[in-house]
Chain A
Amino acid sequence: MKKIIFILAILSTIVIQAQSAEARGLEIAKAAEQADLGFKSSTVHLKMILKNKNGQTSERSLTTKTLELTEDGDKSLIVFNSPKDVKGTSTLTFTHKVGSDDQWLFLPSIKRVKRISSNNKSGPFVGSEFAYEDLSSIEVEKYTYKFIEEKGELLIVEQDPVDQKSGYTRRLVTYNKNKGYRIEKVEFYDRKNALLKTLTYTGYKLYKNKFWRAATFNMINHQSNKETVLFFSNYNFDVALTEEDFTQNALIRTGS
């Protein structure tokens, strides 16, 4: 009898510990979300350098506008400036905390707006090593969490995507608790649970005394040996954008 109680006691501590790892993971993700709350809207220029395994590079440049929403996910508008043959091609995305996002594509050559499926989460964004899901806005509800370890100021949390269409079984995210819970590194594990990609954030700058934004995102694909680097410039948090800047008409206007 004593043995059974002893075993039960051990089991329950394990369960409690497991729960607290999950609770702590969620807590960290929420703290990171809280720390970034209130930026309202921003614009940024983005240069993408795509490197193949032989080191050959190609380049894209785009502009992103983001509108922060608290009740539902953020809205964003992305416009391509180069390569020139796709200049003006734009996407409008309404992220949802639960369920699939709404997305429209503008094709400037025939001025057509097309609602597109946001089903393709795991596919590459314009031939890069970033999947669509890597670039969509961070919403706490999209993952379940498990705290892994603490290394000085760094907190490592495992995130399991809720959506079955995700290309990952899990992501290992490194937060910096002393720097507004900014993300320093993400490791992506594919559906076979093998390490697929590593994303590192560098050149962090503090904007408006509250919002940490990295100047460089470096994504390395360990399986294909390809690499994509994103360079962010001209962050602007004073643009005061509204929902009217994120309509289908605004999409046509921006891409024209």
Chain B
Amino acid sequence: MKIHIVFYTSLLMSLSSINAQTKENKVEQDFELEVAAEYRYFYNDAAFNKQESHFPSLAFTPEYAVKWNKGYESINFTGFFRVDRDDERTHWDIRELYYQKAKKNWELSLGLKKIYWGVTESNHLVDIINQTDAVESFDGEEKLGQPMAQFTLTTKKIGSFDFFYLPYHRKRTFSGEKGRLRFPVIIDKDDLNYESGAEEWRQDLAFRWSHYFGAFDVGVSHFYGNGREPLFVFDTLGNINAFYPVINQSGLDLQITHNAFLWKLESIYRSSKAQDFFALVAGLEFTFSNIDGNGLDIGVLGEYLYDDRDELALNALQNDVFFGSRIAFNDTQDTSILIGGISDLESSSKIFSIEASRRFGSSWKAEIEARIFNSIDNKEFILSNFKEDSFLRFSMSKYF
């Protein structure tokens, strides 16, 4: 009998220790799905044949994460699938699928991942790791998943060092025949070639050092590999030849945070066989906070944009100013509005935008967006093609 008691007690004890162990090595799983219904309406008559004006669309974004080893190891997945009236906007992507391990002052990620660099709002010059999913949004903030090995070393005194090995290049997406925001000639993304003989399999490298001292946050980066922006070159017969050049790009991003002021600078120097250029965005953000004692924040933004390439700049921001305002109500529905305008200092071209969002209930979110192209100069190499493409977008997301 005694033996039995001892046996059961030890069994119980070992069971509870197993229990304690599994608690330590707890595996946490998490799944989420966003379904977004969207309607885009281009209210001006199309500039080119076969372009549509109404674009109903549906997008699915599933996310899955599994974390173990107290969260220091994980596998993260984000997928994306959209059905749209424009065949080229109907597309899917693996935004992220990577294994990550962190230990003490280093971190390693392997797989498809998204990396963001930069501080400014109107243009994202320094951000180069991921290809832009250009059919997704006009602001260029939607990105395609980039295959990589990323190693990060964080030091206490001399900042953080990021090393990237990028074994594969993703091509930029372009609108199809029915789509707006395109050129008269339909660019098939697969028709674009590479300067490099290795094509998309060119083994690319990138590095970034970042640090913060008091009010200063600074980042210095370098990228060597297939450019993310295609280069458009005209041959003697006037045909467009577009390709991805091999580039070296050095970047600097700096923010000074002082009271309610954020002073921002992003600058790049990009060199390739066909083209060398310099570009910068510099500006500030100031927030009047809690104006009404109820949480209303109104931020004002001003930025100057410069690009050496003049009219060949793909983003058409060669010598422009941006003014904007960010209004956050800080209410229970997180209502916020961003209003902005970019004006070309050398021509009449202007682009206005409004983005607003609000949550409904606990799992719905509505968004409204408007982009208005105004007095676009016919001499604008890129923008003149979009001058009839002002649009309104409404979207409603449900989170599961």
Contacts and interface: CB of A to CB of B under 8 A. Distances in A.
Interface of A: 50, 52, 58-59, 82-87, 100, 102, 110-117, 119-120, 122-124, 126-127, 167, 224, 239, 242-244, 247-250, 253-254, 256
B211 to A, nearest CB: 10
B262 A124 contact: no
A80 B309 CA distance: 42
Contact of A102 (B32, B76, B212, B359): B212
Given A87-B32, A111-B116, A119-B289, A127 B365 contact: no
A256 B334 contact: no
B290 A123 contact: yes
B71 interface: yes
B295 A85 contact: no
B156 interface: yes
Contacts of A126: 330, 334
Nearest to B328: A123
Contacts of B399: 83-85, 87
Interface in B133-179: 141, 143, 152, 154, 156, 160
Contacts of A110: 114, 116, 141, 143
B4 interface: no
Contacts of B289: 119-120, 122-123
Given A120-B290, A167-B293, A256-B76, 18 more contacts: A83-B359, A84-B34, A84-B362, A84-B399, A84-B400, A85-B359, A111-B116, A112-B118, A115-B255, A116-B257, A117-B260, A117-B262, A119-B259, A120-B287, A124-B290, A167-B290, A253-B74, A254-B71
Interface residues of B, number: 52
Contacts of B236: none
In this complex, the member of B32, B74, B399 whose beta carbon has the largest number of chain A beta carbons within 10 angstroms is: B399
Contact of B287 (A84, A117, A122, A127): A117
A36 B204 CA distance: 51
Contacts of A102: 212, 257
A224 B70 CA distance: 42
Contacts of A243: 156
B100 interface: yes
B332 A127 contact: yes
B362 A83 contact: yes
Interface in B231-265: 255, 257, 259-262
Interface in B184-241: 210, 212, 217
Interface in B93-114: 96, 100, 102, 104-105, 107, 114
Nearest to A106: B116
Contact of B295 (A82, A123, A254): A123
In this complex, the member of B118, B141, B295 whose beta carbon has the largest number of chain A beta carbons within 10 angstroms is: B295
Contacts, number: 110
B152 to A, nearest CB: 5
A116 B287 CA distance: 10
Given A58-B362, A111-B116, A124 B295 contact: yes
Contacts of A244: 104-105, 154
B116 A86 contact: no
B380 to A, nearest CB: 27
B107 A119 contact: no
Contact of B297 (A59, A111, A115, A123): A123
Interface of B: 32, 34, 65, 70-71, 74, 76, 96, 100, 102, 104-105, 107, 114-116, 118-119, 141, 143, 152, 154, 156, 160, 210, 212, 217, 255, 257, 259-262, 287, 289-290, 293-295, 297, 330-334, 359, 362-363, 365, 397, 399-400
A110 to B, nearest CB: 5
6 contacts: A58-B332, A59-B362, A119-B259, A127-B333, A249-B152, A253-B102
Contact of A119 (B100, B260, B331): B260
Contact of B154 (A114, A224, A247): A247
B79 to A, nearest CB: 15
A189 to B, nearest CB: 14
B363 A84 contact: yes
A57 to B, nearest CB: 9
A126 B359 CA distance: 13
Contact of A120 (B102, B217, B297, B334): B297
Nearest to B104: A244
A100 B107 CA distance: 30
Given A87-B32, A111-B116, A112-B116, A117 B217 contact: no
Contacts of B261: 117
Contact of B160 (A82, A86, A249): A249
A85 B397 contact: yes
In this complex, the member of A102, A124, A224 whose beta carbon has the largest number of chain B beta carbons within 10 angstroms is: A124
A249 B287 contact: no
Across chains A and B, which 8 residue pairs bring their CB atoms closest together, nearest first?
Answer: A84-B399, A120-B289, A123-B290, A124-B295, A127-B332, A112-B116, A119-B260, A85-B365
